[in-house]
Amino acid sequence: MSFNFSRTLILQRLADGQFHSGEVLGQELGLSRAAVSKHIKGLCELGLDIFRVTGKGYRLAKSLTLLEHRKIAQLLPQVMQSQINVQNVIDSTNQFIRDMNVKPSNGYVCLAEAQTAGRGRRGRTWVSPYGSSIYMSMFWSFAGGYQAINGLSLVIGIAVVKALQTLSVKGAMLKWPNDVYLQDKKLAGILVEVEGQMGAACDCILGVGLNIDLPKKALNIDQPWTDLVQATGLTIDRNVLAATLIDELTKALTIFETQGLRPFISQWAELDYFYDKPVKLMIGNQCVYGKVKGIDNDGALLLEKDGKIETFHGGEISVRPA
């Protein structure tokens, strides 16, 4: 029995949020009590909140619904079911797709319970504790090459908000180019990684990290964040959310592939959290101050500066006071 397999079996038992004695767990899984204790320590290192009470055993601080391929697949059309790969603990779902030996088909998805090297935009780390978020990447290749992906990351953001709306989460908005905000804090981030030669198809790995119920102990996250449970009090089934995200992303990308950004411009306007607000745009080491005036037809940011509208294709909006 491999180390990770033992951990998975222990976690499947602890997922009910009840006490399980180390002795019984050991007997059921053919492990010594010391081995059980070592695996529990390993699970805690992945961000799980497990505590031990003498005479009762181990317990998860709250019950946990694990991701299951079967539960996600049954909510999706048959053609998509074999396109979903649910992993346990991996470095990064984006990296998993990048490392595949065979190029996947459009819509192929990798989901994980935890990431040990989750990536954010601009070289940042995406903190990825076990079982508390959605960590998901989808593959899509655009035959039209680089010019066919203008505005792609905005479209992913819109699809994420639509998935949330489908599940009755109200009030999610977007910060250009693609952060999802809820109640003034970041709820989800999107990382688009692109590979392709000029004049050839453009292969994209579209990563989404969406906070659901992060551990309340100190997490090393460098900006104000929220999660769905904290912000809405709703009980979220991650399998249902994963399936809804896959469905919305697939629908949006199918439209985007043939029609580009045009059908999404009015949707962006409805979800543009910082429209008409003063912001600071960081471009490398430079700062530009202005008022957000939406996007152009390529998805570039429009900022009003000294009474004139200027267009910006890159950079990061900061809402912190100048």
Which amino acids are annotated catalytic?
Answer: 121, 186, 320
CA distance 129 to 209: 11
- Rounded to whole angstroms, what are the CA distances from 300 to 32, 294, 315? 59, 9, 10
Tokens of 270: 């409805």
Q: Which SS3 state, helix, strand or coil, does residue 308 take?
A: strand
Q: Which is nearer to ligand BTN, 80 or 206 (CB)?
A: 206
The 10 Å CB-count burial string (b at 16+, else e) for 153-179 is bbbbbbbbbbbbeeeebeebbbbbbbb
Residues 6+ apart with CB under 8 A from 173: 161, 180, 181, 182, 271, 272, 273
Q: Which is nearer to ligand BTN, 169 or 205 (CB)?
A: 205
Binding span for ligand BTN by CB under 6 A among 14-22, 111-119, 147-155, 267-275: 111-119
Touching ligand BTN, residues 186-215 (CB under 6 A)? 189-191, 207-209
Q: Which is nearer to ligand BTN, 135 or 268 (CB)?
A: 135
Contact between 176 and ligand BTN (CB under 6 A)?
A: no
Touching ligand BTN, residues 121-140 (CB under 6 A)? 121, 124, 126, 135-137
Residues 6+ apart with CB under 8 A from 117: 91, 92, 95, 125
Q: Which is nearer to ligand BTN, 19 or 225 (CB)?
A: 225
Write down the least CB distance from residue 111 to ligand BTN, Å.
9
Contact between 38 and ligand BTN (CB under 6 A)?
A: no
Residues that bind ligand BTN (CB under 6 A): 92-94, 115, 118-121, 124, 126, 135-137, 179, 189-191, 207-209
